[in-house]
């Protein structure tokens, strides 16, 4: 499918800098059209899109194409002044700076000179494409703005291919992936973003844009405000600090724009005022934030990271569109519909200390509870009395931990009908590992010719053939020879700003090059082992970016060990990924009460179950509670790959007493998960707005199987009236309108 070829993990290979003719992708082939150069004439607006999205590009007398409109057909919109239309892209390069000084990336010197050359449009495999070629005759820089959208989905995807058609080397400092102007005035806009810290992921908060971008009285100054609300992610953990995403909501018009920057390395977005309206600029790494500079020799290209903007009637509606888009762009894999139950021995269980003696009874209990995959987490390679952290890298099993060999344990997992899995941290090599001496310096991150060391570890650079060959041999041994069917790929160090190896113009450029090569490596692994399931993890959710999610099957949502603190993370996770990729820990323990066991299990039932806990020490009654929850999950999981998330109580605060996450299945049931963590009020009305007008809705309690809780439909309030008499408590409901 043409739209998917340019994603990390597809068969097409990414290169950070490409010589002329080296990119083999044939982007627009069907129903293609070409336009003559714009010259000095005024063109009629170019209108492009489909039933769910309409885009308009205008080209004025200066020959510069500008994005004039992006909307859902038929939806009420904001008519921006023509002065608010911005060029299709922004570029800064050494010798060609900004058009004015300030912290935001608009008004650059180059963008006003990028004249339109040609337009190509096409439709293929359910995707609409629009490529617009522009060129600056003064610098020789040329670009193709590549726009695409899945049919019927109000999401625009954009990236830019920048090429040096000049005769001298050009050193580029920033290239926007999308520049969207003509948004409503700042007074009407609220900005949404999500803090994403270790053990506290996905904490969304909203603020008025006016809180950052003050009203300076622009008409009195004949100049727009220089202020901007900007957010950037840096280093090799792209979602450390914030998600690479955000949203705008228009309080006056009821519209919303939600976006993600699909960067496995650095990224930036900023919002500011322009011509009595606002603009949104989406970037990958740039010099000012990430020490990213890219030298382009004549004929060479650089391709930006993709970005996506979803349109909706509100935040939830825009996230629903983004969910559909995320499903359309990711690599196809059976796991996305099978959704097997995964048991992992780490969290609050073996905690990196697996042995044959400890694993065998745990494997037996996991199989009895209904697990279908069993993943042995960290420590299986640990045969070092001095500690394994700074000696990892060979990925050979410990003979002390597995006296008869690790194959005995893997066979036992298979004998009980489960698929064996292993944890792996592929990119790191401990400073004491033999691999650190065996591989050349160029196979590792470095600066000024010195290997970077972080927490006693070196970082492999997956652009180097020796580094890649080492990991290929590792995975082919584990998957091919040992028969492992699940890999949890973790990453527990962060390197910033990056690496500057041979040929790298800057550390940020080296980091992006490695990150793209890493995702490309994963794609090649899946090409060789198509049945393998890969979980993406970086200390939980520190790599929860769209580029990684497009190639891996599951995403770790957190390392949070406290079941009472996990629910807000669970509730927010579907803002970053489809529910069938949300790996949520469920770790009941034998010392828990029945209420605590069902509470700990509930959060995973509308995502991907990551079961853990000392099941081998549970009573038959307790193990039956776990088995009941897994049986519920197996009955509903076929609905999750079509489900769209909603938040009846809004996105949660970190300390909220009550939390709720819903999944509505088109032409199907609605699932409602509600937690009561604390507080004295046992009753709550939970609105379900999309069922408004239904006089009768059947409400069934799926989990827990036995409960003193009550749930009834309130037709007048379009809500579920809920009673949970004790804390902690959680309940999973199924709602079916009665025809």
What are the φ/ψ torsions at residue 57 (nearest 5 degrees)? -120, 130
Contacts 24+ apart (CB under 8 A), 463-468: 463/501, 463/513, 463/514, 463/517, 464/440, 464/501, 466/439, 466/440, 466/442, 467/439, 467/443, 468/517, 468/521
Task: Output the DSSP codes for 179-191.
Answer: EEEEEPPGGGEEE
Cα separations in angstroms, 31 against 34, 119, 128, 411:
10, 12, 11, 54
Is 304 found in the same domain as 444?
Answer: no
Encoding tokens for residue 600? 């700990």
Encoding tokens for residue 416? 């009980």
Q: Of 614, 645, 676, which residue sits at a domain end?
A: 645
Give, in degrees to the nearest 5, the angle at Cα 600 between 569 and 535.
55
Rounded Cα gap, residues 122 and 2, in angstroms: 11
Average pLDDT per consecutive 10 residues, the chain (739 residues; last block may be shorter): 31 33 40 40 80 96 94 85 89 84 76 94 97 96 98 98 98 97 95 98 98 90 86 97 98 94 97 93 96 98 98 98 98 98 98 97 98 97 78 95 97 98 98 96 96 97 98 98 98 97 96 98 98 98 98 98 98 98 98 98 98 98 98 98 98 98 98 97 98 97 97 97 98 95
85 Cβ neighbours under 8 A, 6+ residues apart: 58, 66, 67, 68, 181, 182
Is 630 found in the same domain as 603?
Answer: yes
Which of 646, 652, 655, 651 has its CA nearest to residue 690?
A: 646
For the domain that residue 130 is a member of, what is the CATH number? 2.70.98.60
Q: How does 175-208 read in b/e, with b if 16+ C-beta sit within 10 Å? A: bbbbbbbbbbbbebbbbbbbebbbebbbbbeeee
**Number of domains making up the chain:** 3
- Give the pLDDT confidence score for residue 24 in this predicted structure: 34
* 91 and 143 Cβ atoms separated by less than 8 Å: yes
- Alpha-carbon 719 to chain mean position: 31
Is 657 found in the same domain as 636?
Answer: no
Rounded Cα gap, residues 133 and 660, in angstroms: 47
Is 339 found in the same domain as 323?
Answer: no
564 Cβ neighbours under 8 A, 6+ residues apart: 677, 728
Is 416 found in the same domain as 307?
Answer: no
Whole-model pTM: value is: 0.94
Is 213 found in the same domain as 100?
Answer: yes
- Alpha-carbon 242 to chain mean position: 11
Encoding tokens for residue 388? 């394994």
Encoding tokens for residue 430? 């401990």
Is 407 found in the same domain as 314?
Answer: no
Is 376 found in the same domain as 259?
Answer: no
Q: What is the maximal distance between C-alpha atoms in the chain? A: 81
Rounded Cα gap, residues 182 and 64, in angstroms: 16
679 Cβ neighbours under 8 A, 6+ residues apart: 657, 658, 727
Could you tell me the residue range of the domain that residue 148 belongs to? 2-329
Q: Of 645, 665, 690, which residue sits at a domain end?
A: 645
How many Å is the Cα radius of gyration of the chain? Answer: 26
Rounded Cα gap, residues 551 and 525, in angstroms: 11
Which of 147, 116, 111 has its CA nearest to residue 134?
A: 116
**For residue 149, what is the enclosing H or E element?**
strand 141-150
- Give the pLDDT confidence score for residue 26 in this predicted structure: 43
Is 130 found in the same domain as 37?
Answer: yes
Is 28 found in the same domain as 14?
Answer: yes
Omega of the bond prior to 607 within 30 degrees of 0, cis? no
Q: Of 329, 356, 371, which residue sits at a domain end?
A: 329
For the domain that residue 693 is a member of, what is the CATH number? 2.60.40
Only one residue has tokens 């990271």, namely 305
Rounded Cα gap, residues 377 and 347, in angstroms: 9
- What's the half-sphere exposure (Cβ side, CA atoms, 13 Å) at 495? 29
Is 297 found in the same domain as 213?
Answer: yes
Is 443 found in the same domain as 345?
Answer: yes
For the domain that residue 558 is a member of, what is the CATH number? 3.20.20.70
Q: CB count, 10 Å around CB of 44?
A: 7
570 Cβ neighbours under 8 A, 6+ residues apart: 557, 582, 584, 603, 604, 607, 661
């Amino acid at each position: 499918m043409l739209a998917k070829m340019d994603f990390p993990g597809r068969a097409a290979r990414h290169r950070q800098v490409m010589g002329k003719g080296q990119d083999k992708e044939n982007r627009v082939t069907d129903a293609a059209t070409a336009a003559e150069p714009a010259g000095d004439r005024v063109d009629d607006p170019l209108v492009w899109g489909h039933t769910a999205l309409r885009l308009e590009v205008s080209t004025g007398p200066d020959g510069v194409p500008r994005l004039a409109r992006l909307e859902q057909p038929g939806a009420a919109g904001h008519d921006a002044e023509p002065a608010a239309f911005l060029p299709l892209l922004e570029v800064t390069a050494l010798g060609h700076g900004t058009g004015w000084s300030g912290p935001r990336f608009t008004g650059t010197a180059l963008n006003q000179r990028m004249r339109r050359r040609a337009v190509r449009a096409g439709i293929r495999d359910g995707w609409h494409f629009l490529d617009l070629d522009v060129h600056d005759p003064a610098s020789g820089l040329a670009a193709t703005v590549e726009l695409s959208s899945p049919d019927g989905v109000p999401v625009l995807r954009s990236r830019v291919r920048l090429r040096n058609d000049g005769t001298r080397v050009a050193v580029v400092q920033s290239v926007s992936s999308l520049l969207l102007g003509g948004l409503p005035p700042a007074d009407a806009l609220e900005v949404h973003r999500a803090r994403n810290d270790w053990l506290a992921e996905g904490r969304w908060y909203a603020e008025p844009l006016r809180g950052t971008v003050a009203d300076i009285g622009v008409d009195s100054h004949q100049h727009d405000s220089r202020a901007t609300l900007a957010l950037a992610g840096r280093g090799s953990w792209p979602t450390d600090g914030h998600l690479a995403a955000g949203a705008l909501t228009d309080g006056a018009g009821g519209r919303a724009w939600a976006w993600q920057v699909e960067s496995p390395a650095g990224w930036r977005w900023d919002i500011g005022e322009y011509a009595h309206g606002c603009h949104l600029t989406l970037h990958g790494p740039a010099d000012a934030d990430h020490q990213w500079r890219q030298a382009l020799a004549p004929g060479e290209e650089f391709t930006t990271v993709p970005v996506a903007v979803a349109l909706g009637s509100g935040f939830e509606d825009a996230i629903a569109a983004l969910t559909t888009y995320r499903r359309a762009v990711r690599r196809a894999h059976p796991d996305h519909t099978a959704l097997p139950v995964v048991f992992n021995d780490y969290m609050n269980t073996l905690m990196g200390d697996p042995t044959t003696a400890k694993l065998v009874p745990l494997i037996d209990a996991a199989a009895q509870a209904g697990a279908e995959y069993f993943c042995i987490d960290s420590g299986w390679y640990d045969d070092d009395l001095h500690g394994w952290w700074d000696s990892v890298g060979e990925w050979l099993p410990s003979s002390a931990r597995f006296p008869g060999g690790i194959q005995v344990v893997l066979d036992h997992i298979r004998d009980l009908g489960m698929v064996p899995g292993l944890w792996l941290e592929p990119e790191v090599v401990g400073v004491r590992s033999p691999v650190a001496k065996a591989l050349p310096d160029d196979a590792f991150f470095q600066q000024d010719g010195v290997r970077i060391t972080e927490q006693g570890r070196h970082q492999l650079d997956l652009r180097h053939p020796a580094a890649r060959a080492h990991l290929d041999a590792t995975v082919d041994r584990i998957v091919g020879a040992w028969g492992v069917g699940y890999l949890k790929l973790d990453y527990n160090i962060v390197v910033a700003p990056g690496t500057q190896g041979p040929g790298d113009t800057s550390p940020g450029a080296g980091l992006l090059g490695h990150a793209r090569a890493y995702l490309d490596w994963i794609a090649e692994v899946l090409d060789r082992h198509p049945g393998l399931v890969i979980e993406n993890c970086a200390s939980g959710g520190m790599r929860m970016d769209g580029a990684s999610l497009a190639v891996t099957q599951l995403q770790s949502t957190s390392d949070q060990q406290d079941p009472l603190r996990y629910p807000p993370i669970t509730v927010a996770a579907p803002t970053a990924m489809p529910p069938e990729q949300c790996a949520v820990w469920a770790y009941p323990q034998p010392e828990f009460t029945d209420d605590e066991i069902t509470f700990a299990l509930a959060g995973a039932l509308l995502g991907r179950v990551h079961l853990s806990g000392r099941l081998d020490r549970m009573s038959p009654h307790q193990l039956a509670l776990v088995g009941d929850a897994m049986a519920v999950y197996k009955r509903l999981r076929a609905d999750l790959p079509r489900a769209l998330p909603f938040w009846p109580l809004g996105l949660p605060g970190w300390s909220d007493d009550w939390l709720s996450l819903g999944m509505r299945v088109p032409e199907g049931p609605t699932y409602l998960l509600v937690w009561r963590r604390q507080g004295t009020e046992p009753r709550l009305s939970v609105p379900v707005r999309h069922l408004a007008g239904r006089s009768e809705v059947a409400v069934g309690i799926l989990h827990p199987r036995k409960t003193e809780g009550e749930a009834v439909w309130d037709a007048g309030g379009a809500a579920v009236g809920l009673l949970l008499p004790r804390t902690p408590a959680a309940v999973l409901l199924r709602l079916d309108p009665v025809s």
